[in-house]
Structure 1
């Protein structure tokens, strides 16, 4: 009897172990989240080097899906789940930014909607700010300044902007760029000063997400001021901010350098200095000039304006030869 009971018990244990759904679920922890978040830095580095590329967008979107799949792979605390949603939202917002930078606006809107949902599920103020701030930039590039204002206002009213002046600074600077598109010239210097003051007031030792630390500084503040004054037709002030931006850009900001240089050339040409403008435009990195959609478009506009200013002139010929060399086979 004893032996029969022992065998029966052993079989029962084996059957229970083999039954589906009875095994203990995997425990997801912050270490799992941390390993996924380590990939954010690589996405951001690729963006600063060669932003706007479709493969960056696709990689970021795939990592967002990876974060969501991890949600469903086991049990987790509320803190871990919130962090996973924030991580997924961060990757999705990087995909959104790559699409904006590549002027793929339909795709950017789809990423934005997904990112907004994930950000709400996370409750993370920093990622909410990033997504709504990106939304303002998206609508600005689409020529919809009213929507850009509204989206950026959502970012600026989040309580993180009251807690950390660095976020407040970025929100004001992007408002400045939007008002430039709306030709609200008189308010631009005041907004610039307020954004700069907030940046200086921020505690450099406060914890901030890697996406903010990687780009937001005085150089980028001047870059947004350059964009604002260029859109508003204030060429001398645009040129001033371009020089300030280029003088302080960090070495890894290669995409930003190409954009600022292209805008500087436009501002110089608009002031009638075709010689200097042509020289400036020729300093844009050839890889960015060919592969980055925003840079390519600005340089095409520059070439058209240069030829309209002095058709058949030496600068127009020099520029035509220079751009032909970009596309020449190796």
Structure 2
């Protein structure tokens, strides 16, 4: 178990790196290497069933982090490979929490790939695990991610219902319940509003998207640098879609340079913002300011 505890400390470090940087190939590779390290311990001497189960769960945790880094970096083919390996390891471990994480991530993967039917099916596996009945915080996250999928599917009624379910479950969650480090590190009211922002952007409800953007940005904890950059980029889109090019440009310019140039999802959203700004406000002072700003980004990247 001392080996397990050592690896779990490394897992906490991987989770922290993900929230600072997100989507980086180096995070994905490190997580894969640590998953292999956990599996190699299975072959070194005898171990109790408890230790073996924990080693499989730890390996599955690392693989699920590699999967998320690949999703976040838009490396979807690699993410599918990590998902399949993580699912196998999670089954060998019998750990409900890591099974939830992997299937919930699978739902997010298919959502980002534009496959809402597969996303709903994968997220339903997570929603139906026993752990969601035992701990409302897991139920809340499952409903919140379901809400984001409903946005891609253009299902406004289900979107609103899922937000209510997620909010209600979060309110019922006992604060002192033991939860895994990966859940404690990111899921809170800020993330709930961030997922609502994603959903309402997808259905084109710009004022509601902006409302949720402000709510999540006000509530993000300091370590959520990657999530803050993503939410800020989405806020800029919502503001621009409402015709406020000046405010939207100022918002987009507040995204940190490292996120704008090195994070695949943020870079893609800001490229789309550039195209939308040029289309809606060609020749404006906002467009000129944004063009100069992005040129400075590229010069420092």
Distance in 2, Cα, partners of 1:167 & 1:37: 20
**2:99 aligns to what?**
128
**1:308 aligns to what?**
279
| Map 1:114-263 → 2, pairs under 5 A | 114-263=85-234
Deviations 1:8-67 (A, max 9, x none): xxxxxxxxxxxxxxxxxxxxxx11111111101110111001100000000000000000
What SS class does the counterpart of residue 238 from structure 2 fall into? helix
- Unaligned regions of 5+ residues in structure 1, if any? 1-29
**2:291 aligns to what?**
320
> Which region of structure 1 is more displaced relative to structure 2, 233-242 or 310-319?
310-319
Root-mean-square deviation (CA, aligned residues, Å) is: 0.8
Distance in 1, Cα, partners of 2:99 & 2:157: 30
What SS class does the counterpart of residue 214 from structure 1 fall into? helix
What SS class does the counterpart of residue 51 from structure 1 fall into? coil
1:188 deviates by 2.0
**1:43 aligns to what?**
14
Q: How many residues align?
A: 301
**2:73 aligns to what?**
102
1:216 deviates by 0.4
Tell me if 1:63 matches 2:34: yes
Tell me if 1:296 matches 2:284: no
Distance in 1, Cα, partners of 2:47 & 2:148: 42
**2:240 aligns to what?**
269
1:329 deviates by 4.4
1:287 deviates by 0.6
**1:8 aligns to what?**
none
Q: Give me the TM-score of the superposition, normalised by structure 2.
A: 0.99
Distance in 2, Cα, partners of 1:186 & 1:116: 32
Distance in 1, Cα, partners of 2:33 & 2:103: 21
The structure that has the greater radius of gyration is 1
1:311 deviates by 1.3
Distance in 1, Cα, partners of 2:91 & 2:162: 29
What SS class does the counterpart of residue 139 from structure 2 fall into? helix
Distance in 1, Cα, partners of 2:300 & 2:234: 28
Tell me if 1:283 matches 2:254: yes
- Unaligned regions of 5+ residues in structure 2, if any? none
1:190 deviates by 2.2
Deviations 1:176-206 (A, max 9, x none): 0000001111232221121011011111111
